[in-house]
Amino acid sequence: MSEIFQLLFGLVILLIGGEFLVRGSITFAKFLKVSPLVIGLTVVSFGTSAPELLVSLQAALNGSPDLAVGNIIGSNIANLALVLGLTVLILPMVVDKSSLFFNWLVMIMATLLFCVFSITNQKIVFWEGLILFSSLLVYLLYFFFNSNKIVSHSDIDTNKNNKIWLALIYFVSGSAGLYYGAKVLVSSAEIIAIDVLGISEAVVGSTIVAFGTSLPELVASCVAAFKKQSGISIGNLIGSNIFNLLAVIGVTSIITPVSVYESFIQFDFYWLIIISIIIGPVLLFFKKVGRVIGSFLVLFYIAYILFLL
């Protein structure tokens, strides 16, 4: 019972820490006068991906690579299916298609690169992690050098009352909360997986831990949707998936080799690739993402969880 309480406590700390980190990130981005789409694809997605980075790194260093990889795969599926689905069920959104096709392609390429590296030796090693992380740096450099093409000056918040010192407090406290929450979450999830539920770490990583680390994306996307900032919502989810694959897996495998559970290759990879491909036409060809699409996405995630269990 204490392990379940610790797990829930870890999820709450992660949620609060992620929210604080996102608030600080958005304030910094506004100070730099960047459009909502750029904010969503970079600063917010990096901030909401921090839990995945800390949880995966902690799990890998603790000798639980299944938990680390399951967390990333499960989080990416949850971002595109559950989080986006719930967001548009709450409030349908008009999609800002500027630069969306390019970033969707980057997400697809990152997904396929991760799958290829995993299938080759069922392990992602130092040089493969270096390729993943270097790809992220190239993406960011290209993105920022071309961001002027997608900046809408009407979307830029030029409010001079933004407090940089307050953003710094949010950023530091959010980071501390994420670190502590990740530590509590991983340790309790390991105990629950082995001793309490009697199921594998891979399944726990793909479900409980993945959902917990996707909560910041869910909060950020819902808040952005309510504020009519669809660029932040969509950009956050696509950007988070790119960061999860290139930064989280990249950094983790640079520090320590990450073994990939065989069931991931035989089952989860297919769901990840399918939802990543489906989301492109949905965002690119539909002028408005409404509740019908939201229902389909949520049902897709429920089916994934049911087949997984």
- Looking at mean pLDDT, say which of 49-63, 114-128, 283-297 comes out highest: 114-128
Tokens of 127: 């040089």
Lowest mean pLDDT among 62-66, 73-77, 137-141: 62-66
Tell me the C-alpha distance between 136 and 134, whole Å. Answer: 5
Its CATH class, for the domain covering 2-150+162-308, is mainly alpha
Answer yes or no: is pLDDT of 104 > 80: yes
The mean of the pLDDT values for the chain is 79
Share of the chain above pLDDT 90, in %: 22
Average pLDDT estimate for 86-91: 84
Q: What's the CA gap between 5 and 13, in Å, rounded?
A: 12
Query: What tens digit of pLDDT does each residue of 223-237 get?
Result: 777 766 666 677 778
In the prediction, which pLDDT does 148 show?
Answer: 53
Q: In the prediction, which pLDDT does 218 show?
A: 74
Other Cβ atoms within 10 Å of 154 Cβ, number: 6
**Contact indicator for 263, 65 with CB cutoff of 8 Å:** no
DSSP letters of 176-205?
HHHHHHHHHHHHHHHHIIIIIS---HHHHI
Q: Tell me the per-residue pLDDT of 275-303, one tens digit each, with 9 for 90 and over.
A: 999 998 887 787 778 889 989 999 999 99
249-281 pLDDT, tens per residue? 999 899 888 888 888 888 999 999 999 999 988
Measured distance CA(200)–CA(193) in Å, rounded: 6
112 C-beta neighbours (distance < 10 Å), count: 14
Asked which of 133-142, 192-201, 244-253 is least confident by mean pLDDT, the reply is: 192-201
pLDDT given at position 153: 42
Backbone angles phi, psi at 67, to 5 degrees: -65, -40
Dist. CA 249–CA 189, nearest whole Å: 20
Distance CA 13, CA 256 (A): 26
Highest mean pLDDT among 64-78, 116-130, 187-201, 252-266: 116-130
* 6 to 215, 217, 269: CA distances (angstroms): 17, 22, 30
> What tokens were used for 17?
């820490």
Q: How far apart are CA 42 and CA 44, in angstroms?
A: 6
Residue 174 has pLDDT above 90, yes or no: no
Most confident of 65-74, 108-117, 150-159, 200-209: 108-117
Over residues 200-222, the mean pLDDT reads: 71
Domain positions in the chain: 2-150+162-308
Tens of pLDDT, residue by residue over 124-165, are 999 999 999 999 999 888 877 775 554 444 444 444 445 677
How much is the pLDDT for 99?
A: 66
pLDDT at 164: 73
CA–CA distance, 272 with 112 (Å, rounded to integer)? 10
Cα 110 from Cα 256, distance rounded (Å): 20
Separation CA 238–CA 247 (nearest Å): 14
**What is the percent of the chain where pLDDT is above 70?**
79
The amino acid present at 201, given as its one-letter code, is E
Say whether pLDDT at 69 is over 70. yes
Residue 14: CB partners within 8 Å, gap ≥ 6? 51, 177, 178, 181, 182, 185, 212, 213, 215, 216
pLDDT at residue 156, as a whole number: 42
